[in-house]
Amino acid sequence: MKAEYLIEQINVSDDDYELSQLYKKNSDTIEKGDLIFSYESSKADFDVESEHDGYIYFNKNYNVGDMLKVGSVVCVITDKLVNDVNIENLFKKALNTIENNKIVNDQILTKKAEKLINKHGLDKKLFDEHKIITESIVNSFIQKKSFFEEPRQDISYYYSEKENKDFNINFKKSNLKRLAVVGAGKAALQLLDAIISENKYYPVCYYDNNKELHGKLLMNIPITDRIDIAKIKDDFENNKFDEIIISFSGNIKQRENIFNDLMNSNIPIANVIHSSAIISNFVKIGVGNIIFGNVRIGPFVEIKNNNVISSLCSIEHHSLLKSNNTFGPAVITSGSCTISNNNKFGTGIYIEPKIKIGDNCLLSSGIIIRQNISNNSIVKNLNKIDIKVK
């Protein structure tokens, strides 16, 4: 018996996940239900439990802190001990030899997912946006079938080869600054809503590393090139745009690196603030921040650089928010809190007064923070919800 454990796609918008923790080491015995490893998405972390008894072996190419693609095989459980020479053989052609999955059109399809797809008579093409099709993804589709059948929920609906009159936006361009946007995915569409609402900028181009998008339009705005700082700087110096903003929030490290490169290249970086956001008196805001709808920033708050604050968040009075943080919807701080750098917040988080949160932390959805959080911490919500299809 050989069972392989993969990085599965938790969020449709995330293709890369950070391997955050290993709970075993090579050749350890393991029982069904034991924790094996954890990995992080843009808003939460995911614990992987063993479904087998046996001995565990980890892929030597992956270390804690690495960003892994969906479908990466992190470990293998066998029913017999394996010597050092043969451990590497466990991972050769891993995706093609996996016992519980198979390859369909370059996608990984789990047996449980395939069984559910066949049971409900679904077309596998409905899941083309996923690199690995799991039982949970199929279950989500079944529960929200009518929602997913709406083309407007599929980002491909908004790309076009030529101008689409349905996507025309009537910017009064003479009064607005020209804005370049880094990233042309779903986050860019969300950002576009804030740009329209603020009525300070109009987007003139996108930069994205997906070569298949180059030359296309997103809501009639051209996707011109890859994310190349030298090219972006050249475009700025040739008067193609006035300021720039980074749209995506899933990969904090990549977002930070691009931001620093832009700053070091003296390219002006915008803030985009939805018109429904409440910015109180005596607030200081740096650059590169995105503040979405119905956010409240209390008086005497300082926000530094390159943060993404989702809708319905509230940063209360005299709090300090440093740089490169991302917040899911409805993160609520009390007064005089300090949030350092490079933290990921999920959805629906409450933070008590005077709390200090360090650097590089992941705070899962649905928690209440009552104590200081040290650097490099993962704060989990241990409540589990069991969802089954009738």
pLDDT tens per residue across span 235-261: 999 999 999 999 999 889 999 999 999
**Residue 322's pLDDT band (cuts 50, 70, 90):** very high
**Residue 363's pLDDT band (cuts 50, 70, 90):** very high
% of the chain at pLDDT higher than 70: 87
Q: Is a pLDDT exceeding 90 seen at residue 329?
A: yes
Q: Is a pLDDT exceeding 50 seen at residue 148?
A: no
Contacts 24+ apart (CB under 8 A), 101-109: 101/4, 101/6, 101/132, 104/133, 107/131, 107/132, 107/133, 108/6, 108/71, 108/132, 108/133, 109/133
Residue 280: count of CB within 10 angstroms of its CB? 14
127's CB contacts (< 8 A; 6+ apart) are 107, 133, 137, 138, 141
Helix (H) or strand (E) holding 133: strand 132-133
Structure tokens at 333: 């701080």
Give, to the nearest 10 degrees, the angle between helix 229-237 and helix 252-264. Answer: 40
d(CA 118, CA 142) in angstroms, rounded, equals: 12
Choose between 330 and 71: higher pLDDT: 330
- Cα angle at 223 between 285 and 163, to 5 degrees? 115
Count of residues in the chain: 390
| E strand map for 162-230 | 177-182, 201-207, 217-218, 221-225
CATH class for the region spanning 2-148: mainly beta
Q: Is a pLDDT exceeding 50 seen at residue 97?
A: no
Pick the CATH number of 159-264 from 3.40.50.720, 1.10.3720.10, 3.55.10.10, 3.20.20.140: 3.40.50.720
Choose between 322 and 171: higher pLDDT: 322
Give the residue among 137, 102, 128, 108 at the shortest CA–CA distance from 11: 137
Average pLDDT estimate for 313-333: 97
189's CB contacts (< 8 A; 6+ apart) are 155, 158, 218, 219
- Cα angle at 173 between 169 and 175, to 5 degrees? 130
- pLDDT value of position 8: 81
Q: Is a pLDDT exceeding 80 seen at residue 4?
A: yes
Bridge partners of 45? 40
Put the strands of the sheet holding 159-160 in their side by side order: 159-160, 217-218, 221-225, 201-207, 177-182, 243-246
Choose between 186 and 245: higher pLDDT: 245
Q: Is 347 helix (H, G, I), strand (E, B) or coil?
A: coil
- pLDDT value of position 267: 98
23 and 125 Cβ atoms separated by less than 8 Å: no
- The ranges assigned to domains in the chain are 2-148, 159-264, 272-379
d(CA 109, CA 99) in angstroms, rounded, equals: 11
Choose between 128 and 253: higher pLDDT: 253
Q: Assign a CATH topology to domain 272-379.
A: UDP N-Acetylglucosamine Acyltransferase; domain 1 (2.160.10)
What are the phi and psi torsion angles at 120 (to 5°)? -100, 5
Choose between 277 and 1: higher pLDDT: 277
CA dist 331 → 50, 158, 298 (Å) = 32, 29, 14
Which of 72-81, 91-100, 333-342 shows the highest mean pLDDT? 333-342
Query: What does pLDDT average to over the chain?
Result: 87
Average pLDDT estimate for 28-46: 85
- pLDDT value of position 145: 53
